[in-house]
Amino acid sequence: MIAMPTLVLASASPRRAEILRNIGWPFEAVAADIDESRFAHEDAPAYVTRVARAKAEEVRLRVPGATIVAADTVVVVDGEILGKPRDEEDARRMLRLLQGRSHEVLTGVTVFNGSTVEPRTAHEVTEVTFAEMNEDEVEWYVSSGEPMDKAGAYAIQGLGARFIKGIKGEYSNVVGLPVRLLYELISSGPVFKGACPGAPPIASRD
């Protein structure tokens, strides 16, 4: 039997917490307090991995010695990085951009083992295809409030599921925490202290 290390989830996201609960991974949540502004000319993989690492480093200062996990998720369409909408009009704009086509969801993940200095960081990419949406559907969805705290202004696990035509890649990545990548980052490092021999080296998948 593989003993899962108890994690400190550097996030206030109820969706990431729910993922860990659903897979039976013990954790406690400690929200990270950082500036998540994107640097000029910073692409999506660089942005999500940098922010994930910054979240982990900030929480590590408050919970020294713990196994810290942090993540950051964005949506990318036509080269534009979509984070959380600023307001309802921004949510409408995002949904109009996404409807009737495919886009990518990227999540950067960082794992800090309390006994090591350097974190392990990688990112996952999933392709999501939206069905076409008419204006009544856009208005209904925005008025539900669900888009307002979600990258790309939708939740694949919520009301937004009715507008998803298909995905290519890991579902949990779209929700906000790619489970397989997290497991690989931890099991191939020193956190398990040899409990998972033979795990392959990690490379970001896109």
CB atoms closer than 10 angstroms to residue 9: 24
- How far apart are alpha carbons 55 and 41 in whole angstroms? 21
Between CA 170 and CA 179, with CA 176 as vertex, the angle to 5 degrees is: 50
- How far apart are alpha carbons 53 and 69 in whole angstroms? 9
Phi, psi of 120 (to 5 degrees): -110, 125
- How far apart are alpha carbons 174 and 146 in whole angstroms? 15
Catalytic site residue from 72, 78, 149, 206: 72
> Token pair for residue 206?
């896109």
Active site residue 78: no
The radius of gyration computed from the CA coordinates of the chain, to the nearest angstrom, equals 17
AA letter at 131:
A
Known catalytic residues are: 72
